[in-house]
Amino acid sequence: MLTTVTIDQLVCGMYVVGVASQTDGRLVKVQGLIKQPAQIQLLRQKGVLTLQVDPSRQLNTEPAADDDSSFNMAATITPASRKDRIKPLPLAKEIKQAQNLYRKARQLQQRAFNDIAKGKPINVADFQRCADGIIDSLFRNQDALLCISRMRDKDAYLLEHSVNVAILMTVFARHLKFDDHSIEQLATGALLHDIGKIRVPNAILNKPGRLSDDEFVAMRKHVEYSRDILQQTEGISAVSIDVAANHHERLDGGGYPQGLSAEQISQHARMIAIVDTYDAITATRVYKDGQSSIKALKILRKDSPSHFDADLVTQFIAAVGMYPPGTLVKLESQKLALVLENNPAKLASPVVKVFYNARQRHYLKPVKLDLAAANCSEKIETAVDPAEYNIDIQRFFKEFILEH
């Protein structure tokens, strides 16, 4: 059973498995037995805050002399850039792994809710590993997880929302060229940003209609619950707590729970406000249908700069695209297509798979089209709701994307 200790609690004889949190943007990779105080000091200088140790491998030992034969911790501290070590993969090769990651992330959310309900603490290391897996997948192929995240289950909003927000937050942070460690902290915070909803009564959380004033006050408390839970969680970073504690703050001071405004709101909190709102608008729940990505982006634009940072909204649109992967669109030819990949240079012209004739109401042999290609005359007319054409988009996705 691994244990998380602070840098001040680290002593010679402990066996370090990895770094749990740090302040420096440079990712520290370290594993091994602590033999010298100098090793601890080096980790402290690198900005390490907490570490995971394996008590079963701990030794009761006197500090070793600082000589050349001792374990060289410095040699294990290296910058680890995902851009350098992760090779891009085509969508077809990443999609099944992305589906597996998404399923595991949902299961982790459920387990955490169950643990909190039983009075057990969150194992933040599990969420950090989950965030790492999501980030790696997005570096291999960003469109795979974005596509998976659009295949929603309206009865699983609470579990899926935080996973989707983590995916979108990672895409956003990557687009803004954040360093690896910062992206990990942001993704971890996004995965946990709504964890406080476990303390909101189910009757309010799952009410299929408009909340009363008193119920809305109770619902708003989930942000404070999330903050309090994370502040008591070992190994969580300040950035992750900021993301969870301030995702409902707004630039004009009209947000909650603190009513922060303008410069009181960090860039991280401004980002999560955009991402959280976007996913909530596009999600289908038991009491409402999700709106299209275009509609959600228009709402974000309309509410900027009063609620949202206008420059960040522009960057978010560039990061996810006008028609994110997984969106069902109608072409000007009246054919329906599923968006597979973005074209960063032409956000209105993604790569799609055409599979349905909307005018004649029948399926077509699926054909992949790059709408940005010079020889392609097809253009998107609008995003559409699969229910409008009685299309089971998840079945289509499974049969023609996952299995091909």
CATH of the domain at 310: 1.10.3210.10
Q: Are 40 and 91 in contact (CB under 8 A)?
A: no
* 96 three-state secondary structure: helix
Q: Is 334 within 8 Å of 358 (Cβ atoms)?
A: yes
Beta-bridged to residue 285, according to DSSP, are: 288
Q: Name the domain boundary from 320, 346, 373.
A: 320
d(CA 240, CA 139): 21
Same domain, 284 and 343: no
Q: Are residue 13 and residue 103 in the same domain, yes or no?
A: no
Answer with the one of 80, 107, 132 that is the final residue of a domain.
80
pLDDT digits (tens, 9 = 90+) for 313-337: 999 999 999 999 999 999 999 999 9
240 & 108 share domain: yes
- Same domain for 288 and 384? no
Angle between helices 267-282 and 157-175 (to 10 degrees): 130
- CA separation (Å) from 127 to 81, 108, 136, 182? 20, 8, 14, 15
Rounded Cα–Cα distance for residues 92 and 95 (Å): 6
CB 22 within 8 A of CB 2: no
Q: Residue 367 sits in which domain range?
A: 328-402
Residues 56 and 191 in one domain: no
Tens-binned pLDDT, residue by residue, of the chain (404 aa): 678 888 989 999 898 888 887 775 556 778 788 888 888 988 887 888 888 888 888 886 555 554 433 344 443 444 446 777 789 999 889 999 999 999 999 999 999 999 999 999 999 999 999 999 999 999 999 999 999 998 888 778 889 999 999 999 999 999 999 988 889 999 999 999 999 999 999 999 988 888 999 999 999 999 999 999 999 998 899 999 999 999 999 999 999 999 999 999 999 999 999 999 999 999 988 778 889 999 999 999 999 999 999 999 999 999 999 999 999 999 999 999 999 999 988 989 999 999 999 999 999 999 999 999 999 999 999 999 888 999 888 888 777 676 55
Task: Give yes or no: residues 96 and 217 share one domain.
Answer: yes
The whole-number pLDDT of residue 25 equals 54
- Confirm if 196 and 228 have CB atoms less than 8 A apart: yes
* Nearest-angstrom CA–CA distance, 248 and 274: 9
What amino acid is encoded at 215 in this protein? E
Burial group, residue 262, by CB count within 10 angstroms (0-12, 13-18, 19+): exposed
Looking at the fold, whether 111 and 217 belong to one and the same domain comes out as yes
Residues 98 and 69 in one domain: no
Residues 86 and 174: their CA atoms lie apart, in Å, by 14
Using alpha carbons, list the distances in angstroms from residue 291 to 7, 51, 247: 47, 43, 21
Last residue of a domain, one of 49, 80, 111: 80
358 and 292 share a domain?
A: no
Are residues 230 and 108 located together in one domain of the fold? yes
How many domains would you assign to the chain?
3
- Closest to 269 measured CA to CA, from 190, 201, 345, 344: 190
Q: 54 with 116, same domain?
A: no
What pLDDT does 69 receive?
37
Q: Are residues 245 and 266 in the same domain?
A: yes
